[in-house]
Structure 1
Amino acid sequence: MTNTKIAVIGGSGIYDIDGLEGAEWVTVETPWGPPSDKLLTGTLAGVGMVFLPRHGRGHVHTPTSVPYRANIDALKRLGCTDVISVSACGSFREEMAPGDFVIVDQFIDRTTSREKSFFGTGCVAHVSVAHPTCPRLGDACETAARDAGISVHRGGTYLAMEGPQFSTLAESKMYRTSWGADVIGMTNMPEAKLAREAELCYASVAMITDYDSWHPDHGEVDVTQIIKTLMGNANMGRALVSRLPGLLGSDRAPCPHGCDRALEYAILTQPEARDAGMVAKLDAVAGRVLS
């Protein structure tokens, strides 16, 4: 049994956590460069919390320039056990309306310009992301959302696009009909893959701001309308986060789905062939199996 420490990666519109006790912004150095910003640490209802603004305070990082590896490494170094990703997204489903939340459980990765793994030449690993989110955390997020009076949908496929531009009409129609995606965003990949490599339980809460460009009654994405919806979503997102410590508790048992043991048989490079420099960089995310 270990202590629960909940990390919240806040997307557009969410830049802190309300009510943190002993709140302090701390600098974390990683082998992958600096994270998006300092990290806000503290406790909430007796449970350790860490908040990281994905785009940095003031929104300085594009979806592509977010330092995903440094962010996940920093959370691991601070002892986080569970990661809740909160992000804005568009919807491909009529019933998933602006203002609703979706507890994502699958991804389609269409990003092309991001480093997607901690591992590489000198230390090769292949981690399964067949089921990229943690059902236990998803349960907690769904319960927290319903308790907060949020209209929430359990389960959905998130298409991660490179951005920063929004979809063309043709792309939006293809993602919705041919590919079967439910929501679209720009930031959950490679974040979810890296969290799995770091043996962190990960849940994605997608906050819907618009209908992308497929909807005949809504037309193209209107940034002004997105920002208006975003502000309301941010308040509900904070309400959801505030309920998580009470649901997850302070004592942390091993993940029943094995998220915290994802590297058990993933590293293929034999110990004598591993690059010492690469192994040193992996001290936080993979130290459990490399030590």
Structure 2
Amino acid sequence: MTAVAIIGGSGLTQLKDLKITRREVMRTPYGEPSAPLVHGELGGSEVVFLPRHGQSHTIPPHDINYRANIWAIRQIGVECVVAVNAVGGISPGYLTPTTLVVPDQIVDYTWGRAHTFFGSEHRKVTHVDFTEPYCPGMRRALLEAGRRAGMALLEGGTYGATQGPRFESAAEIRRMERDGCDVVGMTGMPEAGLARELGLCYASVAVIVNPAAGKAQGEISLSEIDKYLKTGMARVRELLEAAIPLVGSGR
């Protein structure tokens, strides 16, 4: 059984240094996942990798089949998921591009996405606790791995999940800041909630790639985001190599 899955976000459609052993095409009751599951070894530990936006980054945030992705990962026996998310910074301490954040809370602003495995077709109302949306043990492992690797990580913070694919208006960001959000992204939900419904240990590594709308002068620059994505994802890969053995060993 593979102990850890990595869901890659923007800028992480491939996992460098992953020793690939096989690719697995999955079918689920909810359709096909974003891409075949890539099985392999990273840092001496067995992992499975899934690019959230597809192999060529062609699936926008609102069209991702989150249910199929999470179901497929659980179906192969995975227990722990590390999600990688590119985000914009909102709060003053969260504005530096390439900074890595391990959030501890999330606010869902998305709409129209298939967000649960417990619809009316199950003929039984089912609720799950979501007080702590990210697994505390997984978060500790990521933070410890960062310390061991000499990497400065921001511990905690609230992820505001928006619909996309457009960026937010400055007024929307001001509202999110009043709501207590520190970073903003488009893929945090319903992924985290679905993982909780299937009993997965789930945590996020969020990479700040730009100040959110209104937090810097001028418009959001896609070229700047691409530049910071490359640098930030290189840091993510370094963190993952240090973290996966800790996560896989139950730390």
TM-score category, normalised to shorter length: over 0.9
Listed as ranges, the matches of 1:15-54 within 5 Å are 15-54=13-52
TM-score (normalised: structure 1)? 0.81
Change (3 A) 1:124 1:155: same
Change (3 A) 1:179 1:65: same
AA aligned to 1:185 is G
Matched, 1:200 2:200: yes
Aligned to 1:136: 137
CA distance in structure 1 between the aligned counterparts of 2:21 and 2:240, rounded to whole angstroms: 16
Residue 203 (structure 1) shift: 0.2
User: What are the Cα deviations for residues 237-290 of structure 1, in whole angstroms up to 9, with x where unaligned?
Assistant: 11111112322344x49xxxxxxxxxxxxxxxxxxxxxxxxxxxxxxxxxxxxx
- Percent identity of paired positions between Structure 1 and Structure 2: 40
Aligned to 1:271: none
Give the 3-state SS of the residue equivalent to 1:117 in structure 2.
coil
Listed as ranges, the matches of 1:157-236 within 5 Å are 157-176=158-177, 178-215=178-215, 217-236=216-235
Residue 99 (structure 1) shift: 1.1
Aligned to 1:125: 126
Change (3 A) 1:74 1:165: same
AA aligned to 2:77 is G
Question: Segments of 4+ in structure 1 off by > 6 A?
Answer: none
Match among 58, 61, 65 for residue 59 of structure 2: 61
Residues 7 and 82, structure 1, Cα contact 8 Å, conserved in 2: yes
Any stretches of 5+ residues in structure 2 without a counterpart? none
CA distance in structure 2 between the aligned counterparts of 1:4 and 1:61, rounded to whole angstroms: 26
CA distance in structure 1 between the aligned counterparts of 2:34 and 2:139, rounded to whole angstroms: 25
Give the 3-state SS of the residue equivalent to 1:240 in structure 2.
helix
Residue 46 (structure 1) shift: 4.5
Any stretches of 5+ residues in structure 1 without a counterpart? 254-291
Aligned to 2:81: 83
Residue 4 (structure 1) shift: 6.0
Residues 13 and 57, structure 2, Cα contact 8 Å, conserved in 1: no
Give the 3-state SS of the residue equivalent to 1:64 in structure 2.
helix
- Structure 1 or 2, whichever has the larger Rg, is 1
TM-score (normalised: structure 2)? 0.93
CA distance in structure 2 between the aligned counterparts of 1:161 and 1:98, rounded to whole angstroms: 19
CA distance in structure 1 between the aligned counterparts of 2:234 and 2:25, rounded to whole angstroms: 26
Give the 3-state SS of the residue equivalent to 1:95 in structure 2.
helix
AA aligned to 2:15 is I
Give the 3-state SS of the residue equivalent to 2:86 in structure 1.
strand
Change (3 A) 1:240 1:219: same
Residues 37 and 48, structure 2, Cα contact 8 Å, conserved in 1: yes
Give the 3-state SS of the residue equivalent to 1:241 in structure 2.
helix
AA aligned to 1:160 is A
Give the 3-state SS of the residue equivalent to 1:84 in structure 2.
strand
AA aligned to 2:187 is T
Residue 84 (structure 1) shift: 0.5
AA aligned to 1:107 is I
Cα RMSD between the aligned structures? Answer: 1.6
Residues 92 and 214, structure 1, Cα contact 8 Å, conserved in 2: no
Residue 143 (structure 1) shift: 1.9
Match among 4, 14, 21 for residue 12 of structure 2: 14
Residue 142 (structure 1) shift: 1.3
Aligned to 2:97: 98
- Tell me the matched-pair count: 248
Change (3 A) 1:229 1:22: closer
